[in-house]
Amino acid sequence: QPVLTQPPSASASLGASVTLTCTLSSGYSNYKVDWYQQRPGKGPRFVMRVGTGGIVGSKGDGIPDRFSVLGSGLNRYLTIKNIQEEDESDYHCGADHGSGSNFVWVFGGGTKLTVL
């Protein structure tokens, strides 16, 4: 099954841009990844799904146009432009693998984004 790796922290100034990275383990370069935003004390919220061709399907409800994704090789990126205070959150990536009794859904460790 794939392993998803995320840097534990990132920071960006108000109004700036930041790119968060989720790296799939070797051999899983064709996998799609979901991004989730989790504000402090809240449940996660679906942001969007990304493959090597970019976004897959639609963004989650209420996700602003400032959020975009790209995929390249083993990396899946989430870029946030014109960062706002409300973007300060933990960002998780997840991927499902297998089918039937072998199904698993794995997550990265999450990246805590601090808005300066």
Instruction: Tell me the number of residues near other proteins by CB under 8 A.
Output: 23
Tell whether residue 28 is a contact of other proteins (CB under 8 A): no
Instruction: Write the DSSP assignment of the chain as a string of letters.
Output: ---EE--SEEEE-TT--EEEEEEEPTT-TT--EEEEEE-TTS--EEEEEEETTEEES-PPTT--TTEEEEEETTEEEEEE-S--GGG-EEEEEEEEE--GGG-EEEE---EEEEE-
Stretch that binds other proteins, among 13-21, 24-32, 42-50, 64-72 (CB under 8 A): 42-50
Name which position in 36, 76, 83, 89 contacts other proteins (CB under 8 A). 36
Question: Under the rule (CB under 8 A), what is the footprint of other proteins?
Answer: 34, 36, 42-46, 49, 57, 60-61, 92, 94, 100-101, 103-110
